[in-house]
């Protein structure tokens, strides 16, 4: 009889360890179920225009916004957008995609820059263009023409940014030059 007690003791110990582990994991799940962990590439919700404009006025900067686009079924996660100041060549870039149905393909961007004139372009890292450099899709006359084949002007458009203002509708989507 004494031998039966010794054989059951390890089973009781295993059962006890299983119950303790289950309770611990359940507690962890309950504690963290409402927490949203953000990856390094997060899709940001769009800000309301009132909040956005007040932030811009307080900081004394201008903002460029527009829709993202890419000649594919999906917009690459690595797609970035840059605003290059024409006079200095200084570039400000973002790779944050704003998910909102108000944008042409459901995704947009937002870049805060000092007042000035800019060329705005989108790019996908590690995808060289015909010359071997990074391939850029500018906001160009071709975009404003509605991507019509008869519109042969692919020159970038100067985007004027004024302090405290949001410049909207700057869509760097001329992937066809």
CATH of the domain at 99: 2.60.40
89 and 134 inside one domain = yes
Q: How far apart are CA 170 and CA 117, in angstroms?
A: 13
85 and 132 inside one domain = yes
126 and 78 inside one domain = yes
78 and 160 inside one domain = yes
Interval 31-74: pLDDT, tens: 655 554 443 444 445 555 555 555 545 556 999 999 999 988 88
Q: How far apart are CA 151 and CA 73, in angstroms?
A: 24
33 and 48 inside one domain = no
120 and 56 inside one domain = yes
* Radius of gyration (C-alpha) of the chain in whole angstroms: 26
Structural domain including 160 reads: 43-167
- Please say if the pLDDT value at position 112 is more than 90: yes
pTM (2 decimals)? 0.65
Whole-number pLDDT of residue 28: 65
Four-residue CA torsion sign, 49, 54, 56, 62: positive
Q: Looking at the 3D structure of the chain, how many domains does it have?
A: 2
Please give the structure tokens belonging to residue 20: 């303790």
Q: Would 85 be classed as within a structural domain?
A: yes
Mean pLDDT of 123-138: 75
User: Length of the chain in residues, anyone?
Assistant: 177
Instruction: Using DSSP bridges, classify how beta strands 116-128 and 91-94 pair: parallel, antiparallel or unpaired.
Output: unpaired
Q: Would 175 be classed as within a structural domain?
A: no
């Amino acid at each position: 009889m004494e031998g039966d007690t010794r054989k059951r003791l390890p089973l009781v110990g295993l059962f006890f360890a299983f119950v303790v582990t289950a309770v611990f994991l359940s507690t962890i799940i309950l504690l963290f179920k409402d927490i949203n962990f953000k990856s390094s590439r997060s899709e940001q919700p769009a800000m309301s225009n009132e909040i956005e404009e007040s932030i811009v006025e307080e900081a004394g900067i201008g903002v460029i916004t527009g829709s993202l686009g890419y000649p594919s079924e999906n917009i690459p996660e690595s797609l970035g957008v840059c605003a290059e100041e024409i006079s200095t060549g200084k570039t400000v870039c973002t790779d944050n995609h704003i998910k909102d149905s108000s944008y042409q393909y459901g995704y947009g961007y937002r870049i805060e820059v000092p007042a000035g004139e800019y060329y705005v372009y989108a790019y996908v890292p590690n995808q060289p263009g015909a010359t071997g450099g990074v391939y850029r899709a500018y906001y160009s006359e071709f975009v404003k023409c509605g991507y019509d084949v008869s519109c042969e002007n692919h020159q970038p458009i100067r985007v004027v940014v004024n302090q405290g203002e949001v410049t909207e509708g700057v869509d760097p989507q001329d992937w066809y030059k």
